[in-house]
A and B are shown apart, each in its own frame.
Chain A
């Protein structure tokens, strides 16, 4: 994997949902970006010491696209960037979903919030290559949080779950209800998930119970994106060492990590 670190500029900034924009930046990557891979993005603003990790939504020979939801000062600064304004990008980083292995099975995708991004790319790749059904499920707090233009794209029919639906294409409830429903329809399907940690824990609990293989794309605060600062660690399954979400991950098989305990332990 060839990483690039460069100062570059925004080409396009499009609002797609409440407090959520898609940024297309001027950066060509030499190889295909795989679903799950991310970019460390620095807004080059005072008050931002560290870059922030963003899953890559799309990349081609000339540009790279990320989805930015405003959650703090860094994402606010990024979401406010206009075309021509500068930022620093380090990409592509991290591990990815194994598209060729997943395309051999029926695959359920469970996304929440900005966790949509890596699974959106995965859904597109699986649609291109899979002979088997792909079942993408997306949950958001409300309909205002749905990036409709993305969810309509590429002929992938996302099953939408929100707390209080008003439109007929949304179901009422949590994505986990969607997962249970999909399990009944697809008894042999495997699962991939990305979203807030409590959601992924709920998904992992159901997958354990049903003995379904699960791959997770983890979210964690990061400092460097290169395995150096050791901020984003998760204990390995055996408990004998730490894995970094940024370099060993962000995509892990559930059985490879201790996902239900958050702690390391000082020795």
Chain B
């Protein structure tokens, strides 16, 4: 067929084979299901968020399932950037996995410091800044709600990145205007925006008359947040001109296509991977056919007419 579906997607300096990624924190470092699926077949893997030093994370309980989603309060438990570079990245590189490294810093400068450390290594395609993890007492959310800090951190990190790597900034929905945050990331030089991070939520134990999580709030994810994520992507699409990576609540191929309709260039599958670790792969396998059935030659051509 001369005009077959084109799944490739260009986000800044990097062209990805397809627009399907795993979301940070939901698929480890991309190496936990090698016996089931080949991570190199994805558009890419966004790693669990890494910090300069390893973190043990929050006390139990860390996860609570609700009827339509789940709350988590993991607290950025991770092996630390150095251990990732020594133990995980060489394997990802050898296996040909397209890797986006998710980074979180306690101070503004730490994002750029980590980017410079990464720049001394090969085998990764870009970074995603986690500016909005609600589960950490210090930092995290503070960065993620302040447009000036977002712009500054984005600029500093962009300057530290090799020019052939892409920079994604992941935004929180827990603000009055995500468009303002998106414009800040764009001004700072982000190649793409990932939207959205988890929605702040709380579970309450009625017997104990206390919140379930010691920190009170937690991050809500899963199918319940799909409509919120779609609305935020739609809002961002009209506010910025850089590409948007849609994330939040995807549980099926139709959910993926909905993100394309509201203007996303790519998507990340997240919470549903806990139940179906092969879900992103099944979407990759079936995406071309799903687009053909809708007479669409690319994800982009599904975009709603009102978005122009």
Give the interface of A toward B (CB within 8 A). 2-3, 5, 42, 47-51, 73-74, 88, 90, 220-221, 223-224, 226-231, 233, 235, 241-242, 262-267
Distance to closest chain A CB from B71 (angstroms): 10
Q: Are the CB atoms of A241 and B274 closer together than 8 Å?
A: no
Q: Are the CB atoms of A267 and B53 closer together than 8 Å?
A: yes
Q: Which residue of A lies closest to B70 (CB)?
A: A49
Binary contact track B17-49/A, C-beta < 8 Å → 1, others 0: 000000001111000110110000000000000
* In the bound complex, CA of A73 to CA of B64 (Å): 13
Q: Are the CB atoms of A88 and B35 closer together than 8 Å?
A: no
Distance to closest chain B CB from A53 (angstroms): 12
Q: Are the CB atoms of A267 and B56 closer together than 8 Å?
A: yes
Distance to closest chain A CB from B216 (angstroms): 14
Please pick, from A5, A223, A264, the residue contacting B36 in the complex, using a CB distance under 8 A: A5
Q: Are the CB atoms of A49 and B68 closer together than 8 Å?
A: yes
* In the bound complex, CA of A221 to CA of B71 (Å): 13
Q: Which residue of A lies closest to B56 (CB)?
A: A264
* In the bound complex, CA of A229 to CA of B32 (Å): 11
Known: A262-B59, A264-B56, A264-B59. A226 touches B33 (CB 8 A): yes
Distance to closest chain B CB from A260 (angstroms): 13
* In the bound complex, CA of A7 to CA of B25 (Å): 25
User: Is B155 part of the binding interface, using a Cβ–Cβ cutoff of 8 Å?
Assistant: no
Tell me which residues across on chain B come within 8 A of A48, comparing CB atoms.
65
Q: Are the CB atoms of B54 and A241 closer together than 8 Å?
A: yes
Those of B51-89 within 8 Å (CB) of chain A: 53-70, 72, 74-75, 77
Please pick, from B60, B137, B271, B276, the residue contacting A262 in the complex, using a CB distance under 8 A: B60
Distance to closest chain B CB from A125 (angstroms): 25
Q: Name the residue in A47, A49, A223, A241 with the highest tally of chain B Cβ atoms < 10 Å from its Cβ.
A: A49
User: Is B263 part of the binding interface, using a Cβ–Cβ cutoff of 8 Å?
Assistant: no
Q: Are the CB atoms of B137 and A228 closer together than 8 Å?
A: no
User: Is B5 part of the binding interface, using a Cβ–Cβ cutoff of 8 Å?
Assistant: no
Q: Are the CB atoms of A264 and B77 closer together than 8 Å?
A: yes
User: Is B253 part of the binding interface, using a Cβ–Cβ cutoff of 8 Å?
Assistant: no
User: Is B173 part of the binding interface, using a Cβ–Cβ cutoff of 8 Å?
Assistant: no
Q: Are the CB atoms of A50 and B57 closer together than 8 Å?
A: no
Please pick, from A47, A228, A262, the residue contacting B32 in the complex, using a CB distance under 8 A: A228
User: Is B141 part of the binding interface, using a Cβ–Cβ cutoff of 8 Å?
Assistant: no
Q: What DSSP secondary structure best describes chain B's contact surface?
A: loop
Tell me which residues across on chain B come within 8 A of A262, comparing CB atoms.
59-60
Give the bracket for the number of chain B residues in contact with chain A.
35 or more
Binary contact track B252-277/A, C-beta < 8 Å → 1, others 0: 00000000000000000001011111
* In the bound complex, CA of A3 to CA of B33 (Å): 9
In the complex, how many residue pairs between chain A and chain B have their CB atoms under 8 Å apart? 104
Q: Are the CB atoms of B61 and A5 closer together than 8 Å?
A: no
Q: List 18 A-B contacts (CB under 8 A).
A: A2-B35, A42-B275, A48-B65, A49-B222, A90-B277, A221-B61, A223-B63, A228-B32, A228-B273, A229-B25, A229-B26, A230-B77, A241-B56, A262-B59, A266-B55, A266-B57, A266-B136, A267-B56
Q: Name the residue in B62, B271, B273, B275 with the highest tally of chain A Cβ atoms < 10 Å from its Cβ.
A: B275
Tell me which residues across on chain B come within 8 A of A230, comparing CB atoms.
57, 62, 74, 77
User: Is B278 part of the binding interface, using a Cβ–Cβ cutoff of 8 Å?
Assistant: yes
Distance to closest chain A CB from B34 (angstroms): 11
User: Is B188 part of the binding interface, using a Cβ–Cβ cutoff of 8 Å?
Assistant: no
Tell me which residues across on chain B come within 8 A of A74, comparing CB atoms.
65
Distance to closest chain A CB from B161 (angstroms): 27
* In the bound complex, CA of A264 to CA of B135 (Å): 14
Q: Are the CB atoms of A229 and B57 closer together than 8 Å?
A: no
Tell me which residues across on chain B come within 8 A of A221, comparing CB atoms.
61, 63-64
Q: Are the CB atoms of A231 and B36 closer together than 8 Å?
A: no
Distance to closest chain B CB from A86 (angstroms): 14
Distance to closest chain A CB from B53 (angstroms): 7
Distance to closest chain A CB from B276 (angstroms): 8
User: Is B134 part of the binding interface, using a Cβ–Cβ cutoff of 8 Å?
Assistant: no
Distance to closest chain B CB from A43 (angstroms): 11
Known: A228-B28, A267-B53. A223 touches B60 (CB 8 A): no
User: Is B223 part of the binding interface, using a Cβ–Cβ cutoff of 8 Å?
Assistant: yes
Tell me which residues across on chain B come within 8 A of A227, comparing CB atoms.
28, 32
* In the bound complex, CA of A74 to CA of B65 (Å): 10
Tell me which residues across on chain B come within 8 A of A228, comparing CB atoms.
26-28, 32, 273-274, 277
Q: Are the CB atoms of A226 and B277 closer together than 8 Å?
A: yes
Known: A228-B32, A230-B57, A266-B136. A88 touches B275 (CB 8 A): yes
* In the bound complex, CA of A37 to CA of B172 (Å): 38
Known: A2-B35, A221-B61. A266 touches B56 (CB 8 A): yes
Q: Are the CB atoms of B55 and A50 closer together than 8 Å?
A: no
Q: Which residue of B lies closest to A73 (CB)?
A: B67
Tell me which residues across on chain B come within 8 A of A42, comparing CB atoms.
275
Q: Are the CB atoms of A263 and B60 closer together than 8 Å?
A: yes
Q: Are the CB atoms of B68 and A47 closer together than 8 Å?
A: yes
Q: Are the CB atoms of A264 and B60 closer together than 8 Å?
A: yes
Given A235-B56, A265-B56, A267-B53, 8 more pairs with CB closer than 8 A: A3-B35, A42-B275, A223-B72, A224-B274, A226-B277, A227-B28, A228-B26, A228-B277
